[in-house]
A and B are shown apart, each in its own frame.
Chain A
Amino acid sequence: MNNGHSDRVIDIRHLSKTYASGSEQIKVLKDINLEVNRGEMLAIMGPSGSGKSTMLFILGIFQPPTSGSYTIAGVDVLNLNRDAQAVFRREKMGFVFQSCDLLENSTVYENLELPLIYTGVKRHEREHKIMEALQRVNLEHRVRQPSNRLSGGERQRVSIARALVNEPEFILADEPTGQLDKDNSERVMDYFVKITEEARVAMVIVTHDAATAERCTRKCLLSDGVLKPY
């Protein structure tokens, strides 16, 4: 049994997703096969309606595929019950979303503390972990700032730090540079490259931005539900 010590983090085999729309069956993802290793940064590109969001939700274990298998660090995640999926997400995965979803009316510290609370990290250990994650994105000086007083780039960096705070094995990013200007986009991608190399995490970035994809170690194109190397 693979207990997570090999380099393979994500392993997807013959994965398909079909939605029912009335009597019609819409096949959104068709026979997807994908592997992502530690230290690897994969960009999944594709135009709107190509199935990128569905792919992202399945990768995040937010919804199950219609068929196929999906393992993360050797665990068949489709075979987990609801609570086990939640625990698996917080122990093994980090998420960065396009809209820099930070909790409103909360400080940077409080945003980063939440995953640690769910994981059950003791209070005195939290500050160290939070500061370490913020140092990786050079935002340690903003730790007590309310999240709504941050710039777009800073918000995205906080979002990255929050994804890192639980030291995940796999980070999933959805259009992480979608709302940023060129300079901030490049800076965010610099952090991603650095984190992937230093922390040896597997990263999947879903994007339609070619410049963002260019910075990744591998690129795939999702078109009409079919995933191909790009």
Chain B
Amino acid sequence: MANKTLQSLRAEGFLPKDRGTRLLRFSDLLRISFREVVRKRRRYIGVMAAIALGTAGLITIVTMGRDLKANLNNDLDLLGGATIIAAHFDLQMGDRQEWFRTGTIDAIEKIPGVKEVTKSRFRSAATTTFQEKVYGFNLLGVDTNYWSLFSFTPRYGRLFNDADISEGRKVCVLGQDLAKMIFGSPEGAVGQMLNLDNNLYTVVGIIGGVRAADKTLMAFLPITTAQARVPNISELSSLYVRCNTWDDVAPVAAALEKTITTYQPSKGLRIQVGWEPLKQVQRVFWWVSLFIYASIGATLVLGGFGIWNIMMAAVTARTREIGLKKAMGAEDSDILWQFLFEALCVTFSSALLGVALGMVGVQYMCRSLGTQPPEGLFAICLLAGLIFAAVLGVGSGLYPSIRASRMQVVDAMRYE
């Protein structure tokens, strides 16, 4: 019956005292494992490439996920305005029309997740006379955020700039059909003068963009100009908020109502969110995300299986070596650590390569999306890569290592 322990042998003087060099042995085993991987690097190239690419993909997607969403948000938003929240004060019977106070708008701009806010004043049934003909249209006083918030672009000429707003310039932007109706052609309208309530406004541009289709019969003035010069223009009873991403829409919508209620009377307040387009956009992105993550996951799992497979083959091919090492006095733990360290060396080397590739990927995406890399990017990537390598290395190397360590010396020595 095998019951005599190492400690008792040392205590009885049959073996020298423990040299207390477990850490040294550990570092030596690590060195040997690293050397083994370097010397047999060719067999690991395939799995190292797979793991490096998987890690790089994961780092890029995880790090750039928010910027990517924000960018997709801009593109997909053109189709449905999924991240735009509208807030209106409806006219209540017998009550005065409420409007948004400056303090309220400032507070709304500070709500987390809000990208930009635009406000507008409205006048229906405005008229102008050109070459003795009278034309009717709806008029909107807007600020510069209005264009970016709804993704409008100039079809001809230009849209308002900050100077037009701050100086209250007498300029206007027209919808395409209105310009064609009054001046004969949209491009010919730019530079013409529009008479509105005895004020002459220079037409500086024609509105364009995917969402311009329902604004073709409208005229736009700088909000400051409209407030000063257009009679019967509405109060600031409507504003629009654009969120950073669609994930921000629900919390911003909730905070918006609370903020408005906190800062001013909110009678007749109506918050409008396009829940249906939002759900559709989220669904599309969820499927895209699932596909990307599944692809990365599959690459990494395949890499992990690759290491597992190589380590299993190595254990079999090196059976005699394992027996020899055990004959030389290697304990089970020495063999286990050596094989586990070899797996970890492969995954750590792959992960470091992946981190480098990932950082290149992040830089490239930042350049493409016109954003800045996140702060502490290197630390984030390195940490993610190392944690991932440790998990993958232990996951794929543990079983082969245990198998190697449990091998009976006599079986290993007899192995041909």
Interface residues of chain A, those whose CB is within 8 Å of chain B, are 1, 3-4, 53, 57, 60, 62-64, 73-76, 78-93, 95, 97, 101, 103-105, 110, 114-115, 117-123, 162, 166
Contacts and interface: CB of A to CB of B under 8 A. Distances in A.
A74 B332 CA distance: 25
Contact of A89 (B36, B327, B334): B327
B15 A79 contact: no
B287 interface: no
Interface residues of B, number: 43
B330 interface: yes
Contacts of A79: 1-4
B9 A60 contact: no
Contacts of A103: 321, 324
Given A74-B14, A117-B28, A117-B29, A83 B332 contact: yes
A117 B2 CA distance: 26
Given A3-B13, A91-B15, A91-B16, A83 B331 contact: yes
Given A3-B13, A57-B413, A84 B6 contact: yes
Contacts of B326: 86
Contacts of B36: 105
Contacts of A89: 327-329
Contacts of B324: 97, 101, 103
B339 to A, nearest CB: 15
Given A80-B2, A80-B9, A95 B19 contact: no
Interface string B322-359: 00111111111010000000000000000000000000
B24 A120 contact: yes
A95 B24 CA distance: 24
Contacts of B14: 3-4, 73-75
A82 B40 contact: no
Contacts of A105: 36, 39-40
Contacts of B200: none
Contacts of B28: 117
A84 B4 contact: yes
Contact of A81 (B2, B16, B25, B29): B2
Nearest to A120: B21
Nearest to B412: A62
A83 B327 contact: no
A90 B327 CA distance: 8
